[in-house]
Amino acid sequence: MKVVARVKSRRAYTAAVDIEAERRELVRRIRRHGKQAGDPWLQKYAGSPLPVLGLKTGVHRQILRDFHRGHRDLAIRDVNRLAASLWKQAEYFEERTVAIELFLRYHRRLDDASWRLAESWVDQATGWALSDGLAMGPLARLVFREPARFREILRWGKSQSPWRRRASVYALRDLVRAGQLDPAFQLLSRLLRDEEFWVQRAVGTWLRECRKKDRRRTEAFLRAHSKGLPRVTITVATERAPKAFREELRCLAGHRRPPRKHSPGAHQD
């Protein structure tokens, strides 16, 4: 850790950090372990707007572990500054994922400035991999910590950007995992008939997760809102449900006709 000066705070003495030096070192390690020619297939799969180096998950995590081990007392203002620099100057997908995961390493210290910074990335985080990582990670933690932020992601549901609408759904993660389904159903009900495939799939994913917490309530919600429900939403939402329930929803949604009932004595082929 490169120290420029010693700065006194109310709680303790903390080291002022050379943000650019730290960013360059992280970038150097990321690029050293990536594929020299990149990974075009993985870039297409992730929908990344930036080239993908194809860093192995274990290596990616080790880089972050090593950084955190050497910077356990890093002040949140410096975490924010470093994350902002990584994101802004990123030339590869992995450099942006490190910016996101840096927030997760220091999630207990995240503040309003962290929220504003992460929120500013939402429209740039295109492709499911970046979008979901950002929304399920720092955004979900911050929404869960401060209920007032839920009103903000509720407004994202009206955004022209499909990735911001999708992010609003994935930012429900910590609320749903904690069993707080009221806000989840409030937001999901507004996006049930979204025309964008990636939003439809996200809605299905989090209805599936809601069902794990409260099967009866979620199934009742799906039945009550079944008319016109997109096929992919039904398929994903009912991945772990009985086939009969899935077929019932498809019929209610208008995707399939209900089975015909034969009267006694009727001719059957």
Span 160-202, pLDDT tens digits: 999 999 999 999 999 999 999 999 999 999 999 999 999 999 9
DSSP 139: I
Determine how many CB atoms are found less than 10 A away from the CB of residue 150.
19
Looking at residue 257, its pLDDT comes to 62
| Rounded distance between C-alpha atoms, residue 183 and residue 157, angstroms | 13
Segment 124-143 shows an average pLDDT of 97
Q: Confidence band (pLDDT; 50, 70, 90) for 269? A: very low
Higher-pLDDT residue of 2 and 112 is: 112
Q: How confident is the model at residue 16 (pLDDT cuts 50, 70, 90)?
A: confident
**139-256 matches 1-109 in CATH topology:** no
What pLDDT was estimated at residue 8? Answer: 44
pLDDT digits (tens, 9 = 90+) for 85-96: 999 999 999 999
Quick check: 250 pLDDT over 80?
A: yes
Return the percentage of the chain with pLDDT > 70, whole number.
89
Q: How confident is the model at residue 48 (pLDDT cuts 50, 70, 90)?
A: very high
Average confidence (pLDDT) over 216-241: 97
Long-range contact set of residues 123-127: C-beta below 8 Å, sequence gap at least 24: 123/161, 123/163, 123/164, 124/49, 124/87, 125/96, 125/163, 125/167, 126/47, 126/49, 126/163, 127/46, 127/47, 127/48, 127/49, 127/163
Instruction: Please name the amino acid found at residue 124.
Output: Q
- Residue closest to 21 by CA, chosen among 59, 70, 58, 93: 70
pLDDT of residue 132: 98
Structure confidence at residue 255 (pLDDT): 87
Q: Which helix (H) or strand (E) holds 79?
A: helix 76-89
Closest to 142 (Cα-Cα) out of 99, 180, 173, 110: 110
Of residues 267 and 217, more confidently modeled:
217
- Region 67-92: mean pLDDT is 97
Query: Which pLDDT score is estimated for 259?
Result: 56
The predicted structure's pLDDT at residue 258: 57
The two structure tokens encoding residue 66: 């090593």
The per-residue pLDDT for range 158-169, each reduced to its tens digit, is 999 999 999 999
pLDDT for 2: 46
Cβ contacts of residue 248 below 8 Å, gap of 6+?
A: 223
For the chain, give every domain's residue range: 1-109, 139-256
pLDDT exceeds cutoff 60 at 237: yes
Across the chain, what does the average pLDDT equal?
A: 91
Query: Spelled out in words, what is the top-level CATH class assigned to the domain 139-256?
Result: mainly alpha
pTM of the model: 0.88
Give me the architecture of the 1-109 domain, per CATH. Alpha Horseshoe (1.25)
